[in-house]
Amino acid sequence: MQTDSLLTLKLPEGYTFADLKIRRCDLDAIDLDMDLVKRVCNINGLDFTKVLQDPGPVVTSILAVWYKSHLAAGGQPDPLMEELKSQDARSH
């Protein structure tokens, strides 16, 4: 069972979920603003160089936390994130 305990990331002030500029670049890959990911890593004390070696877990956590926060604040659903969430649900 997944818990939110590891998903207690601080998000940078003055940025919105849309600033991540998430887009699909391949059937099973996405692209996003890695400068903003680096900023999130820095404010959370994560070593960005190490994150780049295996970005999947950290990027997934950032997306999950930020998207959840975005929706909780009344933000509009993002079609790509909704698609990714449904794919994740099907794979479990």
Residue length, the chain? 92
Q: Is residue 10 part of a domain?
A: no
Task: Collapse the DSSP code of 25 into the 3-class scheme (helix H, G, I; strand E, B; otherwise coil) and give the result.
Answer: strand
Write down the pTM of the prediction.
0.85
In a domain, 70, yes or no: yes
Is a pLDDT exceeding 70 seen at residue 3? no
Please indicate, yes or no, if residue 4 is contained in any of the structural domains: no
Task: Please give the C-alpha separations between residue 16 and each of 8, 12, 28, 37, 90, in angstroms, as whole numbers.
Answer: 17, 9, 24, 12, 28
Question: Is the predicted pLDDT of residue 7 greater than 50, yes or no?
Answer: yes
pLDDT at 2 exceeding the cut of 50: no
- For residue 64, being part of any structural domain is answered with yes
Q: Are 40 and 51 in contact (CB under 8 A)?
A: no
Does residue 5 lie within any of the structural domains? no
pLDDT band of residue 1 (cuts 50, 70, 90) is very low
Q: Decide if 42 is inside a domain.
A: yes
Number of domains in the chain: 1
Tens-place pLDDT, residues 33-75:
999 999 999 999 999 999 999 999 999 999 999 999 999 999 9
Widest CA span of the chain, in angstroms?
A: 35
Whole domain around residue 82: which residue ranges?
17-91
- Within-domain flag for 8: no
Decide if 2 is inside a domain.
no
Sign of CA dihedral 6, 10, 15, 20: negative
Torsion-angle region of 45 (φ positive above 0: left; ψ -120 to 50: alpha; else: beta): left
